[in-house]
């Protein structure tokens, strides 16, 4: 089974090269596999550093580098890679979407390919994402919903207990688990289906594009699985600052709100999306009130509710 690994860099060249170094041993027993690294017009010397660094790695001519003329987001870059792979390397069975801020643990790629090969309906197969100390990160999920918005923003024990079945994060076990969607940081996709669905929706700049793809995959009659024997360290949010430890210090960027809005309207309609917004606001307000009563700092990015109201007003004022 031939795999093409896709890595999109944006101003993290050293992390991208570390990722490639961790991937190299995985490809040694897979001589027909290929790698494509893209740079999203970083403008910080990434292109030169990546060209130089890739030359020092032993990929035996199987690693292609494509600098993009502009930064149009994660989905756009991966779709460009999908076209480039066909031109440079020919047909592949799978595409492995891999974030630049990841370190591939030994056997991670083989575990995904073996599972997908044994389960023809499994169109997307995702890795267990970990912190550097080996502890698990959230990497298996339910589709976003109205009640899911409420429980995830409230962050209150009684709400979480009552709405456990609606929480977006699925508690993974040590066994493969069928889920709605998996983290786009490390996920394997069947190339033929990926192409037939038109790749990722590049109307998303960043975030929600892997959820959108998983929903379209499900609508096409295929499945999404989390495979914990495939382990990948995810340093998380190094390019965007939206997730990971830096997320509480940085404001959410406008594109996060745009992506969330696009997902709900596209897949559920405007009425449902409005209800999801109200649920988000209710949960967020409950969280803020609980933190005030307990005299503790809220665990949310600065000005999150203010930005949510501001950008939501802009988005709802624009007709589709």
Tell me the per-residue pLDDT of 286-313, one tens digit each, with 9 for 90 and over. Answer: 999 999 999 998 888 999 999 999 999 9
Q: Does the pLDDT of residue 282 top 80, yes or no? A: yes
Q: Does the pLDDT of residue 37 top 50, yes or no? A: yes
Q: Does CATH number 3.90.550.10 belong to domain 3-136+172-247?
A: yes
Q: What is the pLDDT of residues 169-202, one digit of tens each?
A: 999 889 999 999 999 999 999 999 999 999 999 9
CA distances from 314 to 78, 310, 311 (A): 28, 7, 5
Share of the chain above pLDDT 70, in %: 95
Residue at token pair 């709100």: 257
Residue 197: half-sphere exposure toward Cβ, Cα within 13 Å? 26
Model confidence at 243, pLDDT cuts 50, 70, 90, reads low
Residue 237, judged by CB atoms within 10 A of its CB (0-12, 13-18, 19+), counts as middle
Degrees, nearest 5: CA angle 163-164-168: 100
Model confidence at 238, pLDDT cuts 50, 70, 90, reads low
Model confidence at 248, pLDDT cuts 50, 70, 90, reads very low
Gap between the Cα atoms of 251 and 59, Å rounded: 39
32, 1 Cβ separation under 8 angstroms: no
The whole-number pLDDT of residue 242 equals 55
Domain ranges of the chain: 3-136+172-247, 248-316
Q: Which of 56-70, 117-131, 213-227, 233-247 is the least confident region?
A: 233-247
Mean pLDDT of the chain: 94
Q: What is the average per-residue pLDDT within 87-107?
A: 97
CA 282 to chain centre: 26
Q: Does the pLDDT of residue 249 top 80, yes or no? A: no
Q: Give the gyration radius of the chain's Cα atoms.
A: 20
Q: Does the pLDDT of residue 50 top 50, yes or no? A: yes
């Amino acid at each position: 089974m031939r795999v093409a690994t896709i890595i999109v860099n944006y101003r993290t060249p050293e992390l991208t090269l570390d990722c490639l170094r961790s991937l190299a041993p995985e490809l040694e027993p897979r001589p027909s596999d290929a790698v494509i690294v893209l740079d999203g017009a970083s403008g910080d010397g990434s292109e030169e550093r990546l060209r130089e660094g890739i030359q020092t790695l032993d990929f035996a001519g199987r690693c292609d580098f494509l600098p993009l003329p502009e930064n149009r987001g994660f989905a756009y870059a991966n779709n460009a890679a999908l076209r480039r792979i066909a031109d440079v390397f020919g047909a592949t069975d799978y595409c492995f979407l891999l974030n630049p801020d990841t370190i591939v643990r030994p056997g991670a790629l083989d575990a995904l390919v073996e599972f997908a090969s044994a389960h023809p309906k499994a169109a997307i197969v995702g890795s267990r994402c970990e912190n550097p100390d080996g502890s698990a990160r959230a990497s298996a999920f339910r589709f976003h919903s109205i009640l899911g918005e409420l429980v995830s923003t409230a962050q209150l024990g009684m709400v979480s207990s009552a709405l456990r079945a609606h929480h977006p994060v699925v508690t993974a076990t040590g066994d493969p688990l069928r889920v709605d969607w998996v983290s786009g940081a490390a996920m394997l996709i069947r190339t033929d289906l990926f192409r037939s669905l038109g790749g990722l929706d590049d109307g998303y700049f960043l975030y929600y594009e892997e959820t959108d793809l998983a929903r379209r995959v499900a609508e096409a009659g295929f499945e999404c699985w989390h495979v914990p024997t495939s382990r990948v360290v995810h340093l998380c949010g190094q390019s965007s600052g939206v997730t990971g430890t830096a997320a509480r210090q940085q404001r959410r960027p406008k594109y996060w709100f745009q992506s969330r809005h696009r997902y709900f309207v596209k897949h559920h309609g405007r009425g449902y999306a409005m209800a999801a917004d109200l649920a988000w606001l209710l949960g967020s307000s409950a969280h803020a009130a609980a933190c005030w009563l307990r005299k503790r700092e809220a665990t949310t990015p600065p000005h999150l509710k203010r930005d949510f109201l501001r950008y939501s007003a802009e988005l709802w004022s624009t007709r589709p």
